Amino acid sequence: MSKRPHMSIAEKVNERAEEMAVTWQLRAITERAAREMRRPQRPPPRCRFCGAAHQTAECNIIPQGDKMEQAARKRICLICLTHAGHHPANCRGLRTPIQLCNRRCCVNNYIIHHKTICASATPP
């Protein structure tokens, strides 16, 4: 038998598959970058207590003892510190219990709230 000087069909198929895989990966990377460029920039966070440019959980302007009262008055969820348009049992803040107050007086009285608005906590 004589050796064939050209590629076999299997080698051609493998080479073409590698080229297509590289092309597909490059296209996916390009599309992901284009989506990132088109995504609108988020505005800076606004505190729901005082309106300043910081996270609600990081507010130092409102006294610690007044935060719980203000949250109720402004209809802020006591668990996640966002708008109170959801039932507390459905609050996403319950998924991250590290953010919930675990002080003995609150836990014993079944008062579930974010640790940064606890009236019995010392201010940061």
pTM score > 0.85 for this model?
no
Note the pLDDT of residue 4. Answer: 56
Note the pLDDT of residue 6. Answer: 66
Note the pLDDT of residue 85. Answer: 86
CA–CA separation, 79 and 113 (whole Å): 4
CB atoms within 10 A of CB 82: 14
Note the pLDDT of residue 124. Answer: 53
Q: Where in the chain are the domains? A: 56-117
Note the pLDDT of residue 18. Answer: 92
Per the CB < 8 A criterion, the answer to whether 81 and 116 are in contact is yes
Note the pLDDT of residue 105. Answer: 85
Per the CB < 8 A criterion, the answer to whether 96 and 82 are in contact is no
What does the pLDDT profile of the chain (124 residues) look like in tens digits?
Answer: 455 556 688 888 888 999 999 999 999 999 999 999 999 888 888 999 898 999 988 888 988 888 888 888 999 898 998 887 888 889 988 888 888 888 888 888 888 888 888 877 665 5
CA–CA separation, 64 and 115 (whole Å): 11
CA–CA separation, 9 and 72 (whole Å): 73
Note the pLDDT of residue 24. Answer: 94
